[in-house]
Each structure stands twice: as C-alpha cells, then as structure tokens.
Chains A and B, each alone.
Chain A
C-alpha cells in the first residue's frame, strides 16, 4: 500500500494556518518519522492525514484514491492509529484491549469470534507480550501499556501504522524495545509506519524518511540522512547540534548531540 499526502493545509477555526502545503508519500516497508518542536502541529498532522481532522486544502491518498471518498470502516481496516498512551478509566485486560483492534472488521452488533481472538493472541505473541494477556491495563507499566497498544494496532492487520510519540515517557530500555520492534515490523514484515517523535536520534536509527516541521509552516522532507543535519535542526528547533557517527563492533551508530540554544528564543516557542 502506498500512502500519500498532497498539498495538505490545515488551520483550526479562527486561527492561522499551521500546516502549509505538505506533501509526502510512504510506501510499503518504509518508516516516516515526523519531527518538530512542541506545539508545531505534529499530532495535528497525523490526525489530518488519517482524516480525523479535515484538511482545509489538499488530500490524503491510499493507493492513489482520496480517502475522503472511502468508507471509514475500509480506511480503518488498513490504518492502525496509536495515540499518545493514555489510560482508560476501565481496567481492560491486555487481551481485551488488543481485541478492540478487531472492531473495524466486525459489524455493529457483532461480538468478536474465535478467529478474532486468535488474531489478537497472535498479535500479543508476535511482539513477545503474551504474558500481558490477562494483566489489567491499569496495573501495567508505561512500557507494557505501549506494547499492548502496538498489539492492538497489529490486531487490525493494517498496512500502515501511525504512532504518536510511541517511545515518549519510557525508560531507556523500553525505548529501545519499541524502536527495534517498529524497525522489525516495518523492514521485515513490510508494514508501513508513520511516527511522531521528539528524538532526532530515534528517527536516525529507524526511519527511512523524515519530515521535519519548521517555523511558519515550512517543512523539510526527504531521506532521513539528508534531512537531519545541522542547518535544518538549527532552523526548525533553534538548537545548535553536532551530528556524529561512532563505530563499534563493525556497526555504525549515528548520534546527534544538542550543544546550545540559538539566542534569542523567538516567539514560536509555546
């Protein structure tokens, strides 16, 4: 599946445009990372691209077809969305939560059947969290909860996964687990993924493509290695960085080191 955005613009009611003529494409087996400062519109961009918010101009396409013309249920059989991890007031178990991923495949009055339960169990198995099957979500750690959300997304059997800051708020180890899992799902299982992240280093680690939202609706888009550089980081984040690469055991590790804030902080900081 190929997912595309053409000339997407967006403005909330009675305020200025925050996304201007954004275009990008994600193909099968590719991961796109979206970077940008706080409040610049990363989550808004995700919501617009999936149709949760309506583009004020431009459009999103699945395999060349405008999604605004597709039945919503069909769209959500192909796209799985994981918002920033938020706990439900109700204590569902890991399996019950994962099973909710099946809803786009079920009719309004249908209950999940044995087949759906098998899909959900496979999803938990696939990412190695079968032990969370009967654990209640409100007793899970942040890392466990995020894994269950990813299992829920896999239970959709999607072509494209969209994740809003999947590794935010997790410890060092859990961040790595999530990133390596996404890397595997996209590059071995041939899913596509779009993720928001606050960490350029994470984009450098797993993203094929990067879209960096900058000031006044400008953005940089292209191969990750081309986009995350000193100039673009300075322009989009007002931070001086050092992009570095170290070698260890025959493998190359890219890193990015923030050095100083560009003074003075301008008015877009929110």
Chain B
C-alpha cells in the first residue's frame, strides 16, 4: 500500500511496478459502464435500470421488447450516449497529448486554435451542403492548418515558450472565430444561420448510428495512435536536446501526435460543434490522480473524459424542458473547477 508515512499518494496507489493496477482499470471501466447505464435510464421517458439491462439482454438474445422502450433506448439514447462517451474520451485524450507535446499544461485543442480552425472548415462544408465525410475532411484540414500556424507563430529561434504558444493560440482562435462570425453574418438567416449557430454551441442531439459510423473511426484511430505512443509523450515533455538525446525520432513522433490529436478534435467538432473545456479539465484531473506519467495519464483521461461527457450530456438533455447546449454546461462546470485548480497550484502545475 502506498502510505508513505506522512501522506497518502494516489499515484502510488494506482500503480504497481510501473503498471496501472489491473483492479484500478477494471474499477474505472466498470464506473464508465455503470454511469452509462444510469444515464440511459434518464430522460423525458423514464426507464428503469432493469429496463435498460433487459433491453440489452433482449437485443443480444434476439427477444422482442416494448416498441417505445426499444425506440427510446436504441434509436435515441444509445447512439447519443455512445457519441458522448467517444467525444469525451477523444477530447480528453487529445488534450493530454497536446499538453505533453508542447510541454505546456495549458495546451488544448481549444487554446491552440485547433477547435476554431476545425470549426471554420466544418462551417464552410455545412454551407455548401456537403455530406458528413466532406465536413470531417475539411474540419481536419483546417484544424491541422491552424495548429501549424499557432506553432509557427509561437516559435522564435527554434523554441516556443508556454506564454507564446498560448498567446499565438488566442490570436489564431480569434481570427478563425472572426471568420465564423463573417460567415454567420452573410449566410442565409432562415435556413443556415440557426443551423450553424446551434451546431457551434455544441449538441449531441444529431447523434445517429450513421453519423457515429462516419465520425467514430477517426476518433478511435487517433486515440489508438496516441495510446500507442503514450510513453514517448513523456520524452517529448523534456527539452528539445534531451528528447533528441533520448534516441527517439522527435520530428516524426511530434507529427504523428499532432495529426492524431487534430484528427480526433476535428472529428469531434464536425459531429458535435465546439465542446470546450474537456481537453483542459480532464487531463488535469487525471494528473491529480496518477501523477505526470503519460503511461497512466492517457488511459485515465480517456475513461474519465468518457464518464464526464456522458454525465454532462445527460444533464444537457434532462435539466430543462428544452435542451441546453453542451458547451454551456462544460463551461459552467469547467470554469469554477479550473479556477479552484489554479488557485490551489498557483500556476505551478502539480
């Protein structure tokens, strides 16, 4: 056990011999599933815990169940909850990856301008009435372009400080957000404007198996790449020379991480709009639990992110009669929490 005499260290508790304790992983995944099932019961048409389990059971063994329950559970809530889980896992994972990549605890898809850039791409594609796949692709291209711009503006004589990176992210974000404003200002106010505005605020209400099938592979692939490279992320947090001296191909690793993280972000944006805070908040919570080792931070972020967004989205659809945009809720929960975190650490992360 991890009692060091004077205080209890969570990070020592959850690992054994440099690996995550299997029990911890099982407990986390169990929590994720439990949360998901509880959230599936909630909504305008209330279901019981048993209804949900019975529904799944019947589906698997091929029994028929009450048509309304079936429709609510499998056509409405399940795709949406799965989307929430994937979205949370993806955004948290991308956030953690960006933070290590730039050795900057404030780097997230939002602060680096990736979200805003990908949004412009997606909005342009939406304007052109393109299909989901085109929306994904343009979002990805604009996302990568924006992170490249942020990085190149922040880089002075081959190095970029935390401050420069965040500032240049703010600039890039505001330029892309201005472009979105112009598009909104000039677009068709009857059909397009409400669609774009509502989409930008973030909503998972459009979830269907079809959109999941289109967007999920990108997110899963990105998360998979980041997870596979997670130990290397530790090395990228060191100084440039140390990373090279660690004998890894620094450039290639960086590019792989940027593409993977941007792919995840762009795909999330094109499915659900701008859902802020997840990429900042969740990895910080994960680090509070398990320390800085990305071998643990990444899997923990993925699961915690899934749990967080499943809960937030359930609140978004059940708190009031009409749906609350999800970015409103992540900000309402995220901002106070982050202020607490900042006050506690005084900016001296961990």
Residues of A within 8 A of B (CB): 47, 50, 52, 72-73, 75-77, 79-81, 83, 86, 88-93, 95-96, 99-101, 103-106, 108-112, 114, 117, 134, 136, 138
Q: What separation, in Å, do the CA atoms of A50 and B232 have in the docked complex?
A: 21
- When A108-B232, A136-B291, A138-B348 are in contact, do A89 and B104 touch as well, CB less than 8 Å? yes
Residues 232-264 of chain B: 1 if any A CB is under 8 Å from the residue's CB, otherwise 0?
101101110110111111000100000000000
**Inter-subunit contact B350/A138 (CB<8 Å):** yes
B51 at the interface (CB under 8 A from A): no
**Inter-subunit contact B234/A92 (CB<8 Å):** yes
CB distance from A157 to the nearest CB of B (A): 12
CB distance from B308 to the nearest CB of A (A): 22
| B119-141 interface with A by 8 A CB criterion | none
**Inter-subunit contact B349/A90 (CB<8 Å):** yes
**Inter-subunit contact B103/A89 (CB<8 Å):** yes
Query: How many residues on B have C-beta within 8 angstroms of the other chain's C-beta atoms?
Result: 37
**Inter-subunit contact A104/B241 (CB<8 Å):** no
Q: What separation, in Å, do the CA atoms of A100 and B244 have in the docked complex?
A: 12
- When A104-B246, A108-B253 are in contact, do A117 and B237 touch as well, CB less than 8 Å? no
Residues 282-310 of chain B: 1 if any A CB is under 8 Å from the residue's CB, otherwise 0?
00000100011101000000000000000
**Inter-subunit contact A91/B350 (CB<8 Å):** yes
- Our pick among A52, A80, A106, A111 for the contact of B295 (Cβ within 8 Å) is A111
Q: What separation, in Å, do the CA atoms of A76 and B243 have in the docked complex?
A: 11
**Inter-subunit contact B232/A93 (CB<8 Å):** no
Interfacial chain B residues near A90, Cβ < 8 Å: 100, 103, 105, 234, 237, 287, 292, 349-350
Interfacial chain B residues near A75, Cβ < 8 Å: 247
**Inter-subunit contact B245/A50 (CB<8 Å):** yes
Most buried by A among B238, B245, B292, B293: B245
**Inter-subunit contact A108/B100 (CB<8 Å):** no
- Our pick among A77, A92, A109, A110 for the contact of B292 (Cβ within 8 Å) is A92
- Our pick among A96, A101, A103 for the contact of B291 (Cβ within 8 Å) is A96
Other 16 A-B pairs with CB < 8 A, given A100-B238, A117-B17, A138-B348:
A52-B244, A73-B247, A76-B246, A77-B247, A81-B242, A86-B239, A90-B100, A90-B103, A90-B105, A90-B349, A93-B11, A101-B246, A112-B231, A134-B9, A134-B12, A136-B350
